[in-house]
Structures are given as structure tokens and as C-alpha cells.
Structure 1
Amino acid sequence: MIKKNIFFCFLFLNIGFVNAQDFEKSIDSLKQVYRTAIKIETKIDASIGLGKIYNRSNVDSAMTYFKKAVTLSEKNNLTAKKTESYSSLATSYIIKGKFDSSHYYFDKSEKLLDQATNYKLKTSFYGDKGILHYYEGNIDKAAESFQSALVIAKAENDNEEVIRYSNNTALAYTQLGKNEEAIEIYYDVLKLAESEGDKDHIGKILNNIGLIYENMNQFEEALGFYKKAFQVKKASATQIDIANAYYNMANMQLKLGENKKDSLLVKEAKTNFLNTLSISEENEYGNGKLYGFEGLGQIALNEKKYDEAKEIYIKMDSIASALNNQPIMGVSNLKLGVIAIEQNHFDVAKRRLEKAKEIIEKTGAPKDKAQLYSSLNALFAKEQNYKEAYRYLKLEKEIEEQLSSKNLQDKISNYEVKYQTEKKEKEILSQRADLAEKELSLNIKNTQLIGLVILAIVISLLGYLLFNQQKLKHKQLKKESELKEALVVIETQNKLQDQRLRISRDLHDNIGAQLTFIISSLDNLKYGFKLPDNLNDKLKYISEFTTSTIYELRDTIWAMNKSEISFEDLQSRISNFIEKANKSSEAVTFNFNVDQELKNNKMFTSVQGMNMYRIIQEAINNALKYAKASQIDVDFSFKNRMYEMTITDNGIGFDINQIALGNGLNNMKKRAHELDAEFEVTSVINKGTIIRVFKTKNT
């Protein structure tokens, strides 16, 4: 597909028009000044201002006011005003596509330019003259003119002008295939435009960055930039800029629609081409109409509606000839040549392509040259002239590589093989044609087979090495992750242990000491004063309760001081409790038994250990207080994959169905559930009670 948006996105991007934030208000104000001004210079300025605003929407009205400015400045011999008026009128002729008239007024302005004292007259002249060169297809001269304007703007520290002519220069570089230089300029000037809040140029720069992506065949990225530019332009851009934006989006939608076979995208493209054509016709934008026709013609060509496409391109060629628009004349002839190739009208195709070649090689963009060479390649390939096909394919490849486009080496090799084979066949046929042809075919097959085998081996080896490398890397990362996790766990455990130690010290030093003080104070009261019996009993109860609290506090501190509790720790603590219990019940025998396997391996957390201790403690207290037992056994075992703790007494027992569970049994049951264990009570009258806490697995 031939693209002309590289021209289209440039037109009026950077001509020095006033910023018409409020179009009607600006026109009314300037017309009032024009009618009432006494000074001739003021009247000329108002006339030029009106022309610049109308240049954005109604070129004929713009030319009327520019001509009034020319007449007034010539009549009063005002050199500076004549310079500006001539240049301004020349810009309108660019829009009209009348390049000869534009040159005429630029030449008149240039003769007076050395006398200009206002630097903006010079920057506008060089910038607008560069646009004329650009549309004529003389991109080198256009770049020179933009550079001249940019040098002046930088010397004057005029950021607005720097933005304008940097953008122009970058676009010219894009046209010349200097994408790397262009993109560097675009991103620098985009930052400057954003800092200046210049939305008009932000939209244009985004548009032109999209153009670079388009040149590199990255169409989705290009469409993204074109859409961003369109959103910015909608707020303040001219109708011609809006037409530009529609065309650029349509071009990418069409290209993506072709690649993805997406009919909806193609439909959107057609709508936007029609928008381009409509806006261009309303604003008498001659070149814009040509680009709208070009897009619609391409859709017809893609759909193989050759008669419709041919009619559009013939009309396009006629309009371009009337406007003397050489680049578009080149494109229209190129398109007509493509249609002729598709219809196998090779003589017509050759004539059209030769005419296109004459124009495009002189004034065309790199993309147009690439398409031209691609079409010539296709023509000669169909005529089986592989030597010429190969030559044009090489030229196409050079252009594509210059634009950082796709690699066409495979296609080139294909034509090169055909060309070389044809040449060899002619030589061999003069000697031993049949035998030589078979040998050549066999050699080619052997070479291909060997090449495929070698390629398969290399790919397999590389795949194996890559797999091993990734596997090793994965193992290393896993080890590092496990090490980090272990360090985090250790650090957390250390912090928790420090916290437990601090809390236990506080409990012991503060609360323990205070409870001890309470007991001492109660004893002093009992022995220091003669108190009634009922008060003495009350104080005795408080003292005993406080003493019990101290014991429980010590048990808690014992558990908190340990991050893990072993059976030895648990047995030692229970033994201390049993010794105290023995003092009050000397006739009772206590036994504590632990399986050797559990004793050597099992460790509990401090919470688990405390819960076990409290269950055992509560069970022994119950046996001592209520059961009248003579023997109490505490057993830890591991049987049939079940971990079990039992407290057995030989007391009087009770009927489990005849009594309600008291606080003691309920507390034991809750603590068992906190251990994720089952709780079971079995009691037989006159035989004793068994309290069983067990898990279904050893955890």
C-alpha cells in the first residue's frame, strides 16, 4: 500500500499561524481594528492577522485579506510589511496547491528580507519556504530552510519558534529516512512543548512520532500515537489538522485491517478517509482531497475492485496534474501501474511505472520508492525476467533497511536462486542438459538435507544448553529463596523469644513481687492485730488464693521462657507439682511414663506444653480432691499411628451420664481442642477414672 500521510501530516503543522482559541471573537476584534485603524501599519497588521486565522478554515477569505495587506504595504512602500505580506500570501498558495504562485511571492519577499529587523519575519520566511520545498518533494532543501529558521529561533531564545522548527526539521529527517535523528529531536522538543503548555504542537509531535513507527511497520504503535494526537488536536487544531489526523488514523486502520483480516478496522478506515475528503472539500484543501481519494482507491484496490480503483486514481492524477503536485502524480501513476499488473496488462503497467519512476526517484519519499521498486520487481517477476526482478528487489531492500523495516532477505534469496538457476541451466543445456540437471537437483537436495540436519543438531544443542541453564538457575533461585525464608523465620523466632523473656521478667519482677507483698501484708494483719474469726478466715482465704496465683504465675513464666518444651521439661514441672501434692496426700502414689521414641524426638511449643501441663494439673487435682485415689498415673504413648496422653486414677469414679460437666472438665476439654486433639473421659464407679487426650497423627 502506498502511503502519502508523510506529506499529509506535515501540511500546516508548523506554518506560523496565530493561535485562534476563540475563532469568532478574534475575527470580530480584528475586523473592528481594520475598519477603525488610523495608522496604515495597524491596518496592515489587522489584515495579515485576519488572513492567518482564515488560512485555518477558509483559504479564499485568507487570500483576500493578504492581498489587501500587499496592496497597502506596496502603496505606502513599507518594506517590513511588504516582506510579511508576500510571505503570508505565499502560504495560502501552498494550501491551494499553486506552487508557482507561491514561489513568486516568496521570491518577492526574499529580495527584501535582508532589510528586515524583526527576526520573526526571517524565521517565518524560512519555515514557510521549507514547507513549499517539502510539498514539491525537495526534502533536502526543505530541511535546509527549517534549519535556517531554527538557528535564528535558538539565537533569540524563542521557545515557541524552536518547537515549531525543530518539529519541521525532524519531519524532514523522517522523510529522508533519518529516523534515529528524527526521534531524538521529537522527544526533546516534546518535553519543551509540554513545559510551555503548547497543546497545538504536542498534538503535531505525537502525530509525527507515530509516523516514525509507521515507517518501521509497527502499525499498532503508530495508530496509538495518531489517536493520542487526534485527542489533543480536537480541542484547538485547525480543520486541516483534523483532516490530517483522520487520514493518519485511517491509514493505520487499513493496514492493520489487511494484516489481521479485520473487516471492522477496514470499515473504520473507509469512514475516516471519507472524513478526510469531506473536511478537505469544505476547506478547499486541494492536497487533502487527493489524499482522501488515495485512501479510498487503496481500499477498492485491496478488494480487487479494479475498475473502481482505476477511476479514482485517474481522477486523482488529473487533479494532481492541475495542481502541479509532482509527488501525488507519481503516486497515482504507481497505483495505476499496480492495477495493470494485477490485470496482467504488462505494457500499460510498464508505461505507468516508468512515469512513476521518473517522478518518485526525484521527489518521492523513501516509502514511495520502496513501493515503486516492489511493483517493478513484481512486474519483471511475472514476465520471468528474474535478473531485473532481483535488481529491483535489492533496491527495495536497501530502502526498507534504511527505514528499519522488515528483513526481505528470504525473498531476495528466492529470486537470486531463480536467477542463478536459470543462468546455470542455459550453460548446462549446451553440454549434457539432462544429466547435469539431475545432478544439480540432487546436490541441492543433499545440501538442503545436510543443512537441515546440522540446523536440527544446533537447535537441539542450544535447546539442551538453555534448558540446563534455566534448570540450574531455578535451583539456585529456589535455594536462595529457602535461605531467605529460613533467615526470616530465625529472626522472627529470636524476636519472639526476646519478647517472651522480657514479659516473663516483668511478670516475675513486678506482679510476682506485688503478690508476695500482699501475702506478707495479710500475714502481718493476722499476727499484728487481734481480728474477728470470720475476718481471719477471709484473710486466710485471700492469702491462699494469692499463693495459688503466684504458683500459676510461675508456671506461666516457666512456659514463656521456653520457645520449645520437651517431655523432660514437662515431666520435671509435673514432678514439682506432684511433690507439692504429695505433701497433702502422702498415701497417694504418682507415676509419669513416656514412650522412649516420643521422649527422644517430641518437642512442644510453649503454648502446647502449657496446655498439657494444665490438663494434667487439673486431672490430678480432681483425683486428689474428689476421687479418693491411692494411685495416679500419667502416660504418654504412640500406638497405631495415634499420639495419646492419659491420666488414670483408681478412685471412686462417677457416672458420666448422671453429672453435668463442671468448670474443671470443661477447661480440660477446651485446652485439648487448642491442641487440635480429642478429649475423652471414661469413669467406672469404684474402679476409677481415665482422662484421654489423643491425636490421629503424630504432630
Structure 2
Amino acid sequence: MASYFVRLCFLIFLLSFSLQAQIENKKSHFMPKKTTGSYEEKKIKALYSLYNKGLEKEAFNKAHQILKTTKNNRTISSANLLLAYYFNKKAVIDSSIYYTYQSLKFNTVENDSLKIRLYSLAYNLLATNYKKRGLLGESKKWHLKGIEVSQKYNEKNLFYTHTHGLALVYSELGDYKNALKLFKQCLAYKEDPELIYGSYINIGDIYSAQKEYEISNQYLKKANILCQQENNHNCKAVIAISMAGNFEAQHKTTEALRLYNEAILIADENEYNQIALIARLSTGKIYLESEKYEKAKTIFISGLDNALKLGLLHEQTIIYKALKDIYIAQDDYKNAYHYNDKYYKIKDSITQLQNQKEINELDVKYKTSQKEKEIKVLQFENATKKLTLENQTEAIKNMLLQEEISKKINENTILFFQNSSDKKRNEISLLKKDQQLKALEISQQKETRIITIIAFLLLLIPITGLLFQYYKRLKAQRLVNSKQAEISSQKINTLLKEQELKLIKASISGQDKERKRISQELHDSIGGSLAAIKLQLNHVAKSNFSTIDSINKQLDETYQQVRNLSHTLLPKKFSNNKFCEVLQSYFNNISSASKLQIDFHTYPKKEINDMNEVIQIEVFKIIQELLTNTIKHAKATQIDIQFNLIENDLNILFEDNGTGFDTEHFTRGIGFINLENRTKQLQGSFLIDSKLKRGTIINIEIPITSDANTINDVENELYTNTIL
């Protein structure tokens, strides 16, 4: 558990400042600095301006609208990058990674500085996402690529952003020496305050891991002062967790729990999902060490659900290991074995996801370039010193020679000409020596060049061979992977079809039972009443007014029986349960039956639950029809459904990641006709946006303040359809 604490401390800043200080602070720099530009550039500027002002949901919706209408690659790339930011902040890692790759795919402008900045920002976002999932090798690879690009194009702020991210990876890997070196290097960059207090926090965490708690707290307090000035909630939550970790290491559990709970409160209020999860797992660790197994078990099982939803592999390994220890302590070896097996499966999955060869090559390349720079500086200094010494030696020789000549002139003027000739001979000798030295230097340079070329060729041949072998192995692996993917896809399609058949059979069985019940009701109650009325009508001429009153009463009773029967056929679950809860339960049943991930979001939930029951029933049937079409045709693995009630209009956004279709050339089936008819009957609008291999987005808007006549028409048709 001690190693768990150390890992936990360093994962904290990975969440907050690799996203907050390195991405959100940089997204404003991504936009062009000029206020003028094309219409497409203005749209993107407005989009990022909304996001920076905190109107993230509005920016999210406008980004989707832009993707539907624009054909400009730069605009598509920028909009996808904003969606990646949005999902990164919500800790929806898979979606963030998907939109980041989409951004890189459409970043096709040639020789453009904006293109280079987008590459560097996307690399940083990928590194942050993989870091969140616990794939430190992948994170390291993308930070090294980002450093290479930012150095090449002299992007100073992005260079420090990636340097900071690389330092975080070194911290996670336990390479504290290199991590401290890079963090302190980042402190020299004064133009980004978030990068500075982020470095303070990480330096504090490193000293905490080395049990130097006083030094750790000094750096954390420095960071806290800057966070208060910036009013950064993310930073406050991270510092609370770091200081709580220091108290916990010093066995001050009361103070530690107080700070962990403070961090949970801040994280929940601001939807920092992963920070909240880390703080809760820390409290669970304290309860586990205190042998309060039931409290610890509750926290870890709840945390496991969040970790699975967010796709956080590293947290899953921590939780599985903790649950294994709890069940061992409770002598429940069956569950202990189960979670131990889960732990090793996740560990194997993480190992397979990291391509260590490419990462190590980039790491060596980065360190080699740093060493080469240092060697060049030293060589230049040595050459300067050598040249200075040679000049000094030559000056001394000239001085001695001049003194000797002066003495000889003073001693004997007769020897003047002889001395002059001697001087000339000495100068000629010096010139010859200089020529010999230059010739020797030229010869040495030629030999050095020849040796360098030979060494380069000797290294190039095995490297070329290794690259060729690696290419062959990679090609074979790709073929194997594609075959496995085809087999897996066939198996999944088979299972889905079997599940659909089961659901259809169950539906038919339910319909048969309901028809039998309706038949019995009509025969026993309504049929008998109508027969009695017929007999009385045959004798109406002979009867008096009392008989007619009796017939009217029987007609009223028969009408009430028909109305009661039609009402019993309508769904009752909306009157017994809240509408949103019924929908969530329905989605959970479909997910468990078909392995289809369905994300359902509503706002505001209370007002949606209070809608007219007739509208709720129609909306429920619309959603049923949409899900049926997706399961049958789209081959999707994930569906996102959003209900937003805005100014008395219910907006339904239905999005899947399936195969999609061409909206201009497709046959409208009964399902789509029914959807349009239901929406039209509610005076709503129905829009479809889909492209091949991109998925489908359906936007439905329904007014919930329709007049009473419209509601009655819908209700009567609902009753009629149910009876028929």
C-alpha cells in the first residue's frame, strides 16, 4: 500500500495541470492573433471564445453544427480539437482520443505555422489522455514528439508545455532526478503562471515521495498562494490531496481525511471526475489500513464503477488490488481470487497497449540531442582557449625575438645586416612550420571525415536491416490483427442477432398474452352488455320510458368499460415512477443484453419528469424506435442520448458511432415514417445528420406547451392504437 500512496500522489497533478495548465491555458494561443480573417476563422474564434468563457455546452453544440455544415479542413480540424478538449475535461477519455485523431486527420494545410501549433497541441492532448488511462509509455511518446516539433519551429510556450508533461511521466516512472531537472527548468518560463504553480506542486509531490515532508509542504504552500490568486479550483483540489497525503504518511489520519473530503467537495462541484475518484480511493486506503473493511469495500466498489465508466486503467489496478486485500483479510478467498485475476488482466492489457520500442527510440533521440548540444558548447570553449594560448605563445616568441634583435643592434652595428637576415630566416622557418601544421590539420580532418563516413555506413547497414525486419513483423502483425478483428466482429454480430431474436420472441409472447386478455375482457364484459342491450331494443316498442333509461345506463356502463380497458392497455410505469428513471432502467437493460454502451444525460431532470404523461409516452416510443433502428442497422458500440428542456421545448439529441448512411440516397422505411409522424403529431421537428463511417446524429425538438386539443388528439390516437 505504500507504493500505492506514492503512485497516487503523482497521478494527482497528471489530472489537473496536464489538462488545466497545459491544455486549457494553451487553447487560447491556438487561435490566430489578428482580429481580421476569413469567415471560417471567425467562426472558430467565436467557438473557442465561448469555451474559454465557461459556456462549454454551448460551444460543444456549435462545434457539432459547424462539422455538419463546413467543408474547410482547417475548420473541421479546429472544431474536432475543441470537442477533444470538452471530453478531456469531462474525463471521457475514449471520446477525447477519438476527436484528437480526427483533428490530426484533417490538419492538412501545407507550410502553415497554425498547422504546426495544432500538431503540438494535439500531441499534448493525446499524451494527457494516455496518462489518465495509466499508459505512461504512450504518454511519454507523444510528449517527446511534441518537444521535437516545438523545438524545430521555435514554439517556446509549447516546448515548455511538453517538457512539463514529460517531467510528469518521469515522476510516475520513479525517475525523480530527471523529473526534478525538467520541473525546475519549467520554473524559468515566467509567461505561464499555471505552469509555474503546477511545477511547484509536482516538486512538492516528489519530495513527499522521498519522505522530505517539510520541503514538500514549502513548495505546496507556494503553489497554493498562486492558486488563490488565480482562483483555480482544480489547483486547490490537487493541493488539498497532496497535503493530505503528507499528513497520512505522518500517521495524522484525522487531518488527512479532512483534506481528502475537502478535495472531494471541490471536485464534485466542478465535475473533476478523476480527482474526486483519487480522493475517495485515498480515504478507502485509510479505512483499509485501519481494518474498517466494510467502509473500505463500499468506497472501492463505488470507485470501480467510476473507473470503468471513465476508462481509467491505472485506477482499476489499484482498486482490484485493494479489494483482493480486503477479501483476503475477511477470509473470502473466492472473491479475492476473482479480483486478483482482474488485476493481472488489466496489467497485461496496459503492457500490450504500450509500444516500448518506438518510445525508447524517441527517448534516446531526445537525450542524445541534449548531449550533442552540451558537447558542441564544450568543443567551442576548448577551441577558443586553445586559440588564445597559441596567440599568447606566438606573442611571447615575437617579444623574445625583438629583444634579441635589439641587444644585437646595441652590441654591434656591424652585425645589423646579419641579424636582419637571421630574422628573415626565422620568419621563413615559422611560416614553413605554420604551413606544415596546416597541412597536418587538413590531413587529420580528411582522416576524421573518412573514419566518420565508414562508421556511419557500418551503423547504417544493421539499422537498415533491423528496420526491414521490424517492417515485416509489423506487417504480419497487422494482418493477424485484421483477421482477429473480422472474427471478433462476426461473433459480436451473431450474438447481437441472437439477442434481437430473443427480444422479438419475448415481445410477441407478451403481445399474444395481451391479445388473449383483451379478447376475454371483450367477450365477458362488453359482449354480454351489448347482447342485453340488443334484446331490450327488440322489445323497445312494447316497453315504456323506464326501459329506455335502463338501456341508456347499460350504454354508459359499456362505454366506461371500453374506456377503462383502453386505459389499462397504456403503460403505467410513468405514473408509478419518474420518467427519467424509467428511461435509465430501460437503457441499462438494453446495455446488459446487447453489450451496447448507452450514455443518458438530462437537464433539468425535475421539469422533464413533470411533463405531460401523453408526451412522455410518445417520447418513450420515439426513443424505442431509434434504438431499434440502431441495433438493427448501425452496428454501433456507443450511443449518446441527451434531453435538454429549453424555453418549454424538449430537445432530444441522439448520436451513435455506427456505420452511418447517405441521407440523400436511402429508402425511408416504416420506422423512419413512424418517427416523423409521431414528431409531427406533437408539432415537433425531426432532423437527421449522417455520413458513411462517421455515425448518425438525430435532433428532435418537441414543444411541451401544446394546446389542450393537441394533447387530447394525441391521447385519443394513443388509446385507439392501443386497442387496435
Whether TM exceeds 0.5 here: the answer is: no
TM-score range, shorter chain: 0.3 to 0.5
Q: With structure 2 as the length reference, what TM-score do the two structures score?
A: 0.43
Q: Whose radius of gyration is greater, 1 or 2?
A: 1
Q: With structure 1 as the length reference, what TM-score do the two structures score?
A: 0.45
